[in-house]
Chains A and B, each alone.
Chain A
Amino acid sequence: DTGVSQDPRHKITKRGQNVTFRCDPISEHNRLYWYRQTLGQGPEFLTYFQNEAQLEKSRLLSDRFSAERPKGSFSTLEIQRTEQGDSAMYLCASSWGAAEAFFGQGTRLTVV
């Protein structure tokens, strides 16, 4: 297993467009997390899955953000009607239970 992979690594989009990111976790991991990170800040929690169930979503997250994890495998994060404030690195992490979380390399989103 090569670890957590995210696609694409970079995305430039025009304001108002929709974007979708994909995360493939380590295969046996049941937990999957999405975070957003801006320069100089820690990873900001967005949402969390245990298997296919989305157990928590940050109250800071607007309705423009949605995430899925069909069949408890890969996950997608969609941002609708992107805004310049959405520009950030989007990180995915996975873990088995409460064990250490492994991060992907992230998707850097730039909204122009």
Chain B
Amino acid sequence: QQPVQSPQAVILREGEDAVINCSSSKALYSVHWYRQKHGEAPVFLMILLKGGEQKGHEKISASFNEKKQQSSLYLTASQLSYSGTYFCGTEGGANNLFFGTGTRLTVIP
């Protein structure tokens, strides 16, 4: 039930954009996105519910296509502070929360 994320890793220069994808083999009720910095706990970014909505958080936004059971996280004009590992969490019918394997994002000057 673990969602699959791609890419596994990406390196960006400051100001560049990135897209991180998350897909599940199960029907989804919601998708959560988190960022984790080395040695710290995952920090919540946003949650998307059924309905194909798109949300934004400053220069970070996400979309959720429930029919395709996919979500994408968009990072625009990346900043050094965006570096970290991004995880998607998917919630299916049982109301539990499964996380993907993560995408390591490195932003360099």
Contacts and interface: CB of A to CB of B under 8 A. Distances in A.
A101 to B, nearest CB: 6
A27 interface: no
B89 A101 contact: yes
Contacts, number: 61
Contacts of B41: 91, 103-106
Interface in B54-109: 87, 89, 91, 94-102
A45 to B, nearest CB: 5
Give the interface SS of chain A, mostly helix, strand, loop or mixed.
strand
| Range of interface residues on A (Cβ < 8 Å) | 20 to 34
Interface stretch (A14-22, A48-56, A68-76): A48-56
Interface of B: 1-2, 5, 29-30, 32, 34, 40-44, 47, 49, 87, 89, 91, 94-102
| 9 closest cross-chain pairs (CB), A and B | A103-B41, A42-B99, A100-B44, A48-B96, A43-B99, A42-B102, A42-B101, A103-B42, A42-B87
